[in-house]
Amino acid sequence: MAEKAHEIRLKSRPVGMPKAENFELAEVTLPEPKDGEVLVRNMWMSVDPYMRGRMYDRPSYVPPFQIGEALQGGAVGRIEKSNDARFKPGDLVESFLGWRDAFVSSAAPLTKLPASNVPPQAFLGVLGMPGMTAYTSFHRIGDPKPGNVVFVSGAAGAVGATVCQIAKIRECSVVASAGSDAKLAWLKSVGVEAGVNYKTCGDLLKAVQAAAPKGIDIYFDNVGGEHLEVALEVARPFARFIECGMISIYNDEKPTPGPRNMAYIVGKRIKMQGFIVSDFIDMREQFLTEMTQWVLDGRVKSEETIENGIANAPKAFLNLFTGGNTGKMLVKLD
């Protein structure tokens, strides 16, 4: 009997801040899996800021989402039917095939989750793309040394919170910026020394100067904008700026002017480098080995913000831009 499934499609391209009306929930009928195919029922879907970029119709490192098609995002699910020798029913798999509660696909693009004691949704967070983003870039671009001062913006997000904890493991001290006192309290509970609530602190520069009186050696940038200008201001000579994202400007309808103090890049000999997690694919094994151990040892903790049901995936996405999540934003399916 043909099964029904649901997916979230891009209905129209957002202009500025995305709205619920840019998305639509659609019901589809799943075909029977053919030879080499499997039917997967998703358990968890990942909700990530970078998806905003794919909603623009412009050339980028990944093709734009298409109107009327399911949004692509990471998901973890369970094999329900298999016509492929690699998988059997009950296997947990990670996919990148769309915001769908169930789907039929070739087995080729699916990855079986390793047997482990961590919950499966961790492979969308601290052991998944956000965790690998944090781990690889912090080491490769940040080049952390014991005693370095690390400033992290968007510090309570999935990537930021992981960066903060890796920095502590590497014997750095951490100044975290986040948008609520509750988020900062959680970050302090995992070892962050100083927190700045950018929504209530008033003058951001003064607040960061007070939190990092000796300046910063590493800036992990998730937000761009004013935070980036402040980081340039407080940077020590030879500071490394890990340019992971600029969520503060993703929804801008007009281009926003950049930092007014770019000349510090010269005078302070700053290295500012952008990246995409796949650039560091050579570090994947090292990341999985070390991070799995840290998670099992309790040295890296993760928070999750969970919305229930595929219909709420757009809401979860919109909440990313208003600071609605602490840690990894997930949609739980059932």
Task: Give strand pairing partners of 331.
Answer: 45, 307
Burial of residue 140, with CB atoms counted within 10 A of its CB: 0-12 exposed, 13-18 middle, 19 or more buried: middle
- Tell me the closest approach of the beta carbon of residue 238 to its own copies, in angstroms: 8
DSSP 242: E
Nearest to 18 by CA among 247, 258, 183: 247
Q: State in angstroms the smallest separation of the CB of 50 from its own copies.
A: 9
Q: Name every residue whose Cβ is closer than 8 Å to that of residue 286 and which is 6 or more positions away in sequence.
A: none
Rounded Cα distance, 33 and 80, in Å = 10
Secondary structure in 3-state letters for 16-37: CCCCHHHEEEEEEEECCCCCCE
Nearest approach, Cβ of residue 129 and its own copies (Å): 15
d(CA 70, CA 11): 9
Residue 197, strand partner residues = 178
List CB contacts of 231: < 8 A, sequence separation 6 or more. 151, 153, 208, 216, 219, 221, 239, 241
- Shortest distance (Å) from residue 215 CB to its own copies: 11
Find, among 231, 217, 75, 213, the residue nearest to 154 by Cα. Answer: 231
Catalog residues that contact its own copies under the rule CB under 8 A.
Answer: 53, 60-61, 224, 228-229, 237, 243-246, 249-250, 255-276, 279
Q: Which residues contact 125 (CB under 8 A, 6 or more apart)?
A: 46, 131, 158, 302, 304, 327, 328, 330
Q: Which is nearer to its own copies, 214 or 269 (CB)?
A: 269
As a whole number of angstroms, the distance between CA 87 and CA 36 comes to 10
Alpha-carbon distance of 85 to 166, in angstroms, equals 38
Cβ proximity to its own copies, 256 vs 293, nearer residue: 256
For residue 3, the 8-state DSSP code is: E
Q: Which is nearer to its own copies, 186 or 264 (CB)?
A: 264
